[in-house]
């Protein structure tokens, strides 16, 4: 299957976005740089995994770009469209996750992807979500305002639709709780022509740093205790549970034969599980459970408070 202009345009944007995000995060960490390598696949694709380990402020960061080609779409890529199973495809994706050291700085995740099966069968997917340990209402408000601004030029109903989709997707059924405070999520998206859909994806990609960096900058200097660090590690365990048991991206990476080191680079370097742990009533830890780990109309509720 010959690569057409749509794949080329998406590749160019995703590679540029990877470079921009890595440079911004390296500047803020101040100590450690992202590794950089290009790994060729036997099928003709390649990946550029960039990983930052053991920085001053970023304990683990991964910003990974992948171009894949294959003769058969993996099962995880056709769950919602089984009619496309067994079809040749090309795919371009960028995924990122930041695990900060400071418990006051939320974990952040984003990904964007494009699948091309043939001239008529293509779609985008992606989004971004925030996982705080000690949340601040003003940070959550900023996050969702930025998400809405990214969507609005392409439909004033898109933010609500993608937010609800995000709340549904980033849910741990075995824990009966959200992974965090949500954001945007969309999949199999081809509403309108390619230019319109790609414009929306670029808006969301360009909003990533605008959404996250002000929160990072505001919280990175806060002093924290060993107890707060322990709670951060405990909550990171939920991240591991989600990625290994639910996340379609992880399943796709494993099923498509991607390099396992790259697939698992999204994992936190340290996490913990405490048997039957419960937060103390009225504590900041309880505040997370009571007020943040459930779907809420953040923009309406928090705007009313300000």
Kindly report, residue by residue over 113-165, the tens digit of the pLDDT.
Answer: 999 988 788 999 999 999 999 999 999 999 999 999 999 999 999 999 999 99
Q: What are the Cα distances from residue 250, in Å, to 196, 259, 263?
A: 28, 11, 6
Q: What is the pLDDT of residues 84-105, one digit of tens each?
A: 556 678 999 999 999 999 999 9
Name the residues annotated as catalytic.
109
Cβ atoms of 251 and 258 within 8 Å: the answer is no
Cβ atoms of 70 and 256 within 8 Å: the answer is yes
Q: Given a cut of 90, is residue 56 above it in pLDDT?
A: yes
**How many other CB atoms are there within 10 angstroms of residue 284's CB atom?**
15
Cβ contacts of 66 within 8 Å, gap of 6 or more: 45, 46, 47, 48, 91, 92, 93, 94, 95, 258, 262
End-to-end CA distance of the chain: 54
Q: Which fold has domain 5-305?
A: oxygen-dependent coproporphyrinogen oxidase (3.40.1500)
Cα dihedral 66→178→24→249 (10° resolution): 0
Torsion angles phi and psi, residue 270, rounded to 5: -140, 135
Give residue limits of the domains in the chain.
5-305
Q: What is the pLDDT of residues 225-242, one digit of tens each?
A: 999 999 999 999 999 999
What pTM did the predictor assign? 0.92
* 47: three-class secondary structure by DSSP: strand
DSSP secondary structure letters along 116-139: ESSSS-EEEEEEEEEE-SS--HHH
């Amino acid at each position: 299957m010959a690569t057409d202009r749509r794949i080329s345009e998406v590749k160019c944007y995703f590679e540029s976005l990877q470079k921009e995000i890595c440079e911004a995060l390296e500047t803020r960490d101040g100590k450690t740089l992202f590794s950089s390598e290009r790994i060729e696949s036997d099928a003709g694709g390649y990946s550029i995994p960039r990983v930052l380990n053991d920085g001053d402020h970023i304990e683990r960061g991964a910003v990974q770009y992948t171009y894949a080609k294959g003769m058969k779409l993996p099962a995880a890529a056709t769950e919602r469209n089984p009619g496309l199973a067994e079809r040749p495809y090309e795919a371009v994706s960028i995924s990122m996750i930041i695990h900060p050291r400071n418990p006051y700085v939320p974990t952040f995740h984003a990904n964007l992807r494009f699948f091309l099966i043939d001239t008529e069968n293509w779609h985008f997917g992606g989004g971004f979500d925030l996982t705080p340990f000690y949340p601040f209402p003003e940070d959550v408000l900023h996050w969702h305002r930025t998400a809405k601004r990214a969507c609005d030029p392409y439909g004033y109903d898109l933010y609500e639709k993608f937010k609800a989709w995000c709340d549904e997707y980033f849910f741990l059924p075995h824990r009966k709780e959200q992974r965090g405070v949500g954001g945007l999520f969309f999949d199999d998206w081809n509403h309108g022509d390619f230019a319109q859909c790609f414009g929306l994806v670029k808006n969301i990609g360009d909003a990533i740093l605008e959404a996250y960096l002000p929160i990072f900058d505001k919280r990175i200097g806060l002093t924290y205790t060993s107890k707060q660090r322990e709670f951060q590690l405990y909550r990171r365990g939920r991240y591991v549970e989600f990625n290994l048991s639910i996340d379609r991206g992880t399943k796709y990476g494993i099923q498509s034969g991607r390099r396992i080191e790259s697939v698992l680079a999204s994992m936190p370097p340290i996490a913990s599980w405490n048997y039957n742990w419960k937060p103390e009533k009225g504590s900041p830890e309880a505040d997370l459970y009571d007020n943040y780990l459930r779907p809420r109309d953040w923009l309406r509720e928090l705007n009313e408070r300000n």
